[in-house]
Amino acid sequence: MKTGAFRCLTLMVVAFSTLLCAGEPENDRATQTVQGIVTLQGASDHGGTHVSITPIPDAGTPFSWALLLGLLGLFGIYLLFVGTRGVVRFRRYSGSRPSSGATMFFGFGLGCLLLASAAWAALSTLSASDGSYGLAPASGDFAPGSYRIDFSHQGYISGSIVIRIDSTSGATVSAPSVELLPEGNRCSIFPADNPWNTDISGYPLHPDSDLFIASIGSGGRLHPDFGTVWQGSPIGIPFVEVPPDQPKLPVEFLYADESDPGPYPIPPNPPIEGGPDSDGDRHILMLDPTACTLYELFWAWPPGTGENPFTDRWYAGSGAVFDLRSNGLRPDGWTSADAAGLPIYPGLVRYDEVVGQGTISHALRFTVSRSQRGYIHPATHFASNSSDPGLPPMGLRLRMKVGYDCSIYSSEVRVICAALKTYGMFVADNGSDWYVSGAPDSRWNDDALGELKQIPGSAFEVVYTGEIMTGR
């Protein structure tokens, strides 16, 4: 093989090594800004915490690899060309130039090897750039590279870290790494012993269970009051996560005596239930996961619009602020953004739980058309003047019967069924009977959710969680 070819190869190796070293940053990957995050590849539950591991393309490396692939390809083509000519020549003059022919055979084979290696590396680079890693979600061995690990609880990210794996043998990343997160960045939706998070599968039946179910309608059917879009507006009650530095705005209330005065961290153009032109409940739910605080507004109007008589502040029917680290209730007799005085967000069916995690670890909320003048804690407010003891009070808790078979339904409905058997659902507001609340999401499969409509009211029973109160 000619000396010029070896000189070219040497120059290529030196140039690539220089660019590769320049392209790789110092060992500060754990603190650098995350760029170019690719599609999520794995997720699972570990000790109640959802763990997602996402590959991150390395900064500086793609260009270096692209250069190497190009150089290898060109050099491989050159060797193929020279080697092929040598093979042909050797076959013609094998008796006179055996050493040269052997060299050409070697060049031909090396050219094929280099091209095959370049093709393999190119495919690997393309796969990495679009995130096609076969990752074990919670623990396992991972290829060298950068990864972002997100930790979430009950449907929202509670913190994340970025790691760099340099070892060619990989490294093990496990869910307990959540302990590396600052305490202030971890927040659950109320403590584990909060009523919303309590397993009621073993709770005793309420003595008036049959009466309450009959009044709601044992022959009625569940209905998903959430999904994608209906008549141009999202279906369900939306929410928005806000950063800790979100400016807080003053809000004037119609029912100021039962509302938390705020101010509230309302972002620009917040998602409003039913859309900005809705004439319905117009809920706005704002979650600050860093401060572990939930802000909720009912019948909210921006300054100078709709029913708002003010041009310099928001206007709402009522509002409530909840400390997610506390089990404290609102004062007896107080409403919230919900008729029952309950928070709304904890009872929503959310896509990331149902489809992303495959489990719901909290109670749900639903509505009834008629209720009585009374409530059961954790509810603190009634929304009726009726003294009929057969009507459900606010805060009444229903549970799906353990023997009801949900195996015939979609995977989405099976997850919801499991939650209803374990955590149940609260009567939270007046509305249509058996309407279960959730958050809108364009990723929902409305047809799959529609199978909820096959579940009858007779599949439920009422559990005893306390006495009915009638104060205020």
Residue 262 has what pLDDT? 87
Among 88-92, 117-121, 210-214, 374-378, whose mean pLDDT is lowest? 88-92
Confidence of residue 34 (pLDDT cuts 50, 70, 90): very low
Among 37-41, 374-378, 439-443, whose mean pLDDT is lowest? 37-41
Confidence of residue 338 (pLDDT cuts 50, 70, 90): very high
State whether 317 and 412 are in the same domain.
yes
Residue 255 has what pLDDT? 97
Span 129-160, pLDDT tens digits: 333 222 333 344 455 666 655 544 444 444 44
The percentage of residues in the chain with a pLDDT greater than 70, rounded to a whole number, is 61
State whether 203 and 257 are in the same domain.
yes
State whether 167 and 266 are in the same domain.
no
d(CA 36, CA 89): 51
d(CA 21, CA 202): 62
Torsions phi, psi of 233, nearest 5?
-125, 150
Of the residues 143, 164, 185, the one at which a domain ends? 185
Confidence of residue 323 (pLDDT cuts 50, 70, 90): very high
Cα dihedral 232, 236, 242, 246, rounded to 10, equals 60
Contacts of 136 (CB under 8 A, 6+ apart): 42, 142
168 pLDDT exceeds 80? no
Whether the Cβ atoms of residue 388 and residue 372 lie closer than 8 Å to each other = yes
Q: What is the span of the domain harbouring residue 21? A: 3-185
Whether the Cβ atoms of residue 249 and residue 270 lie closer than 8 Å to each other = no
State whether 237 and 141 are in the same domain.
no
State whether 110 and 202 are in the same domain.
no
Residue 471 in domain: no
Span 410-427, pLDDT tens digits: 999 999 999 999 999 999
State whether 177 and 238 are in the same domain.
no
State whether 173 and 250 are in the same domain.
no
Span 258-305, pLDDT tens digits: 999 989 999 999 999 999 999 999 999 999 999 999 999 999 999 999
| Rg value, the chain, Cα | 31
Query: What is the total count of domains within the chain?
Result: 2
pTM: 0.65
State whether 380 and 291 are in the same domain.
yes
- Pull the structure tokens for residue 164: 């760099």
Average the pLDDT over 357-368 and give the result. Answer: 97
Residue 362 in domain: yes
Residue 231 has what pLDDT? 86
Residue 471 has what pLDDT? 76
State whether 341 and 210 are in the same domain.
yes
State whether 166 and 33 are in the same domain.
yes
The percentage of residues in the chain with a pLDDT greater than 90, rounded to a whole number, is 58
State whether 241 and 266 are in the same domain.
yes
Average the pLDDT over 82-94 and give the result. Answer: 55
Of the residues 185, 220, 238, the one at which a domain ends? 185
State whether 103 and 178 are in the same domain.
yes
Cis? peptide before 268, omega within 30° of 0:
no
Of the residues 156, 185, 214, the one at which a domain ends? 185
